[in-house]
Amino acid sequence: MRAARLIKMVLLLQSRPSMTAAELARELEVSERTVTRDAQALSEAGVPVYADRGRAGGYRLIGGYRTRLTGLARSEAEALFLSGVPGALREMGLEDAASAARLKVSAALLPSLSDASRTASQRFHLDAPSWFKEPKTPELLPAVAEAVWDDRRIVARYRRGDTEVERELEPYGLVLKAGVWYLCAHVPDRNLGTGSFRTYRIDRFLTVDANGDRFTRDEEFDLPTYWDEQAERFARSILHAEVVVRLSAEGVRRLPYVVDPVSARDALTAAAGAADGHGRTTLTLRVESQEVAHTQLTALGAEVEVLAPEGLRERFAGEARRLAGLYETA
C-alpha cells in the first residue's frame, strides 16, 4: 500500500513543476504529515525530492530526475481509452486504474506537453445519461465488468418478467445507453456446441457468480456493430401499428425528432421525397401504437395531417376544433 503511494507521489511530482503538501495530501488521500514522512522516505531511497520552504513552497524533483516506472499495466491501458467517460469508469470500478494510467502518461510526456490532459478535459466531455432522470448504478456492475475484462464465464440469475432465470454467460462487452448498462454476452449451447449472442440489462441481475473459467473470445465479434444491429432490431420489433400522414416540408424536416428515427428513416426512404402540388408529402409510418403516435405527432402541430386510421384522424380533428374554440376572439 505504501509502496504504491510512494510511486504515485513520484509520478505526481514528475508531471508538475512543484506541489504543496496540501495538494499532495489531497491527491494521495493522506494527511500532510504522511506526505512529509513519504517525502523523507523517498529522499533516503535516493529520489531527489526537494522541499521549498515558505508560503510559496512545496515539493519538487531536482536534477531533471525521471522515473522509469511509467510502463502501463493492461488494466491501466484499457482504462485509459475510456478516460473520457469518468462516470462509467467509476461505476465499473476502474477509476483508480485510469488515474494511475493518466499519471504515467503525464510523467512520460515532454514538459511542453505536460498540460495535454488538462486542456483536453476542458474541451471535451461525454455525458452519457439522459435528461430528467437520475440513473442508478447496478450493484453487480463491477463484478460483471471484471469478468468482461478477464474473458471469464459468469453464472447470472436475473429477472425475466415475473420469473427468475439462471444462465451461464460468456460476457463479451458492456454498453452504456442513456444511463442504462447492458451486457452483450454469448450464451453457449452445450448440446450443439454452438450458441447465440444476447443482450441483458444489468440492473435486472439478481446474482452474479464470476468465478468461472476463461473462455476463448470470437475475434470476429465487433461490439459497436452488434449493438447497432440489436438496437435497430429492437426498435423495429415494437412498431406494431401503421398511420398514414401528410406532411409539410417543415414537418418532413422535424419528423425524425418526434417519432422513432428508424420509423422516420424507413418512411422517408419509401416516399423518396415525392411531394404533391402543395409541397406536402404523404408517408406511411410504423408506430408503437395509435396512442403513442398521437402523443408524438401532436408535437408537429399544423405541419402534419393524419389521413388514417380514421379513429386517429377523428381524434386530431376533434382536438383541432377544441383548440380553435379556445383561441377564438370574443
Strand order from edge to edge, sheet including 154-160: 194-201, 180-189, 163-177, 154-160, 205-209
Residue 208's pLDDT band (cuts 50, 70, 90): very high
CA atoms of 27 and 17, how far apart (whole Å): 15
CA atoms of 103 and 19, how far apart (whole Å): 14
Q: What is the pLDDT of residue 92?
A: 67
Please give the full DSSP string across 225-263, using - where no structure is assigned. Answer: HHHHHHHHHHHHHT--EEEEEEE-HHHHHHHHHHS-HHH
Q: What is the pLDDT of residue 132?
A: 65
Average pLDDT of the residues in 231-244: 88
Give the tens place of pLDDT for each residue, 268-326.
888 876 778 888 999 999 999 999 999 999 999 999 999 999 999 999 999 999 988 88
Q: Is the pLDDT of residue 79 over 80?
A: no
Residue 5's pLDDT band (cuts 50, 70, 90): confident
Give the Å distances, CA to CA, from 289 to 80, 106, 161, 281.
Answer: 44, 54, 21, 22
Average pLDDT of the residues in 197-207: 93
Contacts of 121 (CB under 8 A, 6+ apart): none
Prediction pTM value: 0.56
Q: Is the pLDDT of residue 12 over 80?
A: yes
Q: Is 203 exposed, middle or buried (0-12, 13-18, 19+ CB in 10 A)?
A: middle
Q: Residue 148 is placed in which grid cell?
A: 468482461
Q: Compare 289 and 4 and report the one with higher pLDDT.
A: 289
Q: What is the pLDDT of residue 192?
A: 66
Contacts of 201 (CB under 8 A, 6+ apart): 180, 181, 182
CA atoms of 159 and 201, how far apart (whole Å): 10
Give the Å distances, CA to CA, from 192 to 168, 174, 185, 187, 195.
Answer: 15, 26, 18, 12, 8
Long-range contact pairs involving 24-33 (C-beta distance under 8 Å, separation at least 24): 24/59, 30/5
Amino acid at 265: R
CA atoms of 213 and 169, how far apart (whole Å): 11
Most confident of 119-128, 141-150, 173-182: 141-150
